Structure 1
């Protein structure tokens, strides 16, 4: 506002410029949230929840979880006289490196998939014992071969991707997380105090709680089918897509006959309806 107050043209022009600027800024923030909301909504839809319900769940959760950041711990910096949201400062400290753990979960899924494929290959070929060369040829590259280099992509990913996932990422993760914790331990007073918003304990508590919630949810979601987003009219059979041969990977409109989805012991099958994106 102080910058626009110096604009020529008088109060009317200045007011118009301020209005247009903040209106455009509001629209930019709103449109940026669409992709963020869709990321969550898509996961609900993939598990058979109707899109309208998924949007409602997500919007309601965003509103509820956003209340603390808007209403709690608005403090005044005594040195500058500027108010700042301490709640957001604390959350930034907690989740500043949370993206690294998100990447770790993805990498772990890739590692586990490769190991499981290697064990299947051993069973199919009646091979016992671990052989590193066989693991490289039939395990490490499995995710890349089954989900990336499927023949319908413009890019063909070589073995360098395996080295990044199995060697580069663990090294980078260890260095970054180690440097972060070392910095906090040696430069923050009383870092192990759970009440210290800049300490380590509060970070570990939040991370541990979130991990526990995800593990519990995964035990429930793992028994439910996933729905592939196959566009209407597409001539590609679903079983030719990555994971399409899995009995729990369905196309929208298919009937899941796997049993007790309601968890009430009735054993009754039902149709899960998911909308196309």
Structure 2
């Protein structure tokens, strides 16, 4: 079913692209990884933006713009009937992320509540976060542990966030998604600028910036940093998700593919750098010593943004008000990224013949059911982040295969350059496609060969170690289930979506 609704202007799809890209991946995931690896991570992350993410986003944008269907229909049209199952993998990989990403929006709402409660306590003369930290330095860490494991409030709030997203998207692209992003994205950038200025002006804050850009070359021999840099670039920009394919299916006929892609890609990376400049200097400013700050960052703590920002704002007058605004902006950023994930699911169900309203109800049910385990347990959340974060490399590989099958140079001429005033060099695009095939295969093999669990494949008793958070067995099993499902349904889906 070809999409007839469109964004009202170029800025509509640009803001939607930025809204898709800029979210929790920038404020929560990127600072954690930049803090763990420093400048070595930044170098690889920027390289992968140019080599991996931009070329794949160019392909995604042009495929969605050309065929104007959901990810499965657009991908099947570009890659051919036999590879329809590749579109299924791309879709289900992104849904795997959407299910646990919705939980991040629930966490953000928890901190919106904490920050506004702190602000009201300050106004009412009651105990604030600063006072709690004086009595218990681990107050914020304990609060994080409380909401990350078995917390009913986290479950309720992520469900409310999904409901709000569904209600908004039922209104359509122009009246729902486009109008929301006109408010969400400018607000986020303003808040990031403000937080960065405050952090860098704190005592010892500049040391965090120096650490962030210092390069430790020994990390380059560790496959983990390569995988993390590539998956973060893909995770944050949306390369391989099928999200930009979904958004571009609502683009106008003459939309400039290349310009929009570069604005989205570099806008996302700018937001990530700003987020790290806000958070890492704060870690150094608030730590007893530089060595303790580095030790804390190198743990790769999932709670970095959630523990450091409230502590930062508790140290100066007016911080309670800014903390409330920051976490409100954080929620809105996470929410703006969740919307395209929900739309991707809705779009594919509409291609199968459902109305937008009926599709939206089904998306709501699926997100509530499959998001619950991650909301209830941080271990399950971490497993899903590991499985589908790296799964984006496989998704990106499927998009590359579709381009190469068509002929990379011919694909660029027929799909990308058709309405683009700004064009990239054809040799660059073609080279990236073939480099990325080798890159994806080598990195995934390298990663699996190392193993990030004590028992990567089999446990102590010789059983398949599926339930270990970071085991290869868990990752490969979930990938194979999705691939098998796609292969079994390949012909039926192609007939249902394309031929009908």
TM interval, shorter chain, is 0.5 to 0.7
CA deviation after TM superposition for structure 1 residue 221, in Å:
1.7
Structure 2 SS opposite 1:96 = helix
Q: How far apart are residue 49 of structure 1 and its match?
A: 2.9
How far apart are residue 68 of structure 1 and its match? 0.4
Pick the aligned partner of 2:448 from 181, 189, 193. 181
Is 1:102 matched with 2:414?
A: no
Q: Establish whether residue 220 from structure 1 lines up as the match of residue 488 from structure 2.
A: no
For the residues of structure 2 that align with 1:141 and 1:8, how far apart are their CA atoms?
58
Cα pair distance change 1:222/1:207, threshold 3 Å: same
Within 5 Å, give how 1:50-65 maps onto structure 2. Answer: 50-65=355-370
Change (3 A) 1:23 1:164: closer
Query: For residues 390 and 474 of structure 2, what CA distance do their matches in structure 1 show?
Result: 13
Aligned counterpart, 1:263: none
Q: Report how far residue 103 of structure 1 moved.
A: 0.8
Q: CA offsets, 1:118-156, max 9 Å, x none?
A: xxxxxxxxxxxxxxxxxxxxx453333332233x22244
2:456 aligned to which of 186, 191, 198? 191
- Select the structure that is richer in strand: 1
In structure 2, relative to structure 1, the CA distance for the partners of 1:30 and 1:96 (3 Å cut) is closer
Q: TM-score, normalised by structure 1?
A: 0.56
2:413 to 145, 149, 162: 145
Residues 179-207 of structure 1, C-alpha deviations (whole Å, 9 max, x = no match): 212221xx642221232332211211111
Describe the superposition over 1:241-267 as per-residue Cα deviations: whole angstroms up to 9, x where unpaired. xxxxxxx5xxxxxxx5xxxxxxxxxxx
Q: Which has the higher helix share?
A: 2
The structural deviation recorded for 1:88 is: 1.3
In the TM superposition, what is the alpha-carbon distance from 1:20 to its structure 2 partner? 4.4
Aligned residue for 2:495, secondary structure, equals coil
Aligned residues: CA RMSD: 2.7
Aligned with 1:161 (options 425, 429, 449): 429
Change (3 A) 1:141 1:6: closer
* Matches of 1:209 and 1:149, distance apart in 2: 37
**Which of 198, 201, 214 lines up with 2:473 in the alignment?**
201
- SS state of the match for residue 141, structure 1? helix
Match runs of 1:1-277 below 5 Å? 1-2=129-130, 3=311, 4-8=313-317, 14=320, 19-72=324-377, 85-112=378-405, 114=406, 139-150=407-418, 152-157=419-424, 158-165=426-433, 167-184=434-451, 188-193=453-458, 194-195=464-465, 196-226=468-498, 248=499
SS of residue in 2 equivalent to 1:224: helix
How far apart are 1:67 and its partner, in Å?
A: 0.5
Gaps of 5+ in 2: 1-128, 131-310, 459-463
State how far apart, in whole Å, the 1-side matches of 2:336 and 2:417 are: 33
Q: Give the drift of 1:173.
A: 1.1
Task: Give the greater-gyration-radius structure (CA).
Answer: 1
- Tell me the distance in 1 between the aligned counterparts of 2:453 and 2:396: 27
Please report how far the alpha carbon of residue 19 of structure 1 lies from its aligned counterpart in structure 2 after TM superposition: 4.6
Aligned-partner Cα distance in 1 for 2:331–2:457:
40
Partner of 1:78: none
Q: Tell me by how many angstroms 1:28 deviates.
A: 3.1
Q: Any gaps of 5 or more consecutive residues in structure 1?
A: 73-84, 115-138, 227-247, 249-255, 257-277
Equivalenced residue count is 183
- Once residues 93 and 223 of structure 1 are traced to their aligned partners in structure 2, the CA distance between those partners, rounded to angstroms, is 33
Runs of 4+ that moved beyond 4 A? 4-7, 16-21
Q: Is the 8 A contact 2:379 2:469 kept in 1?
A: no
**1:21 to 1:90, Cα distance in 2 relative to 1, 3 A:** same
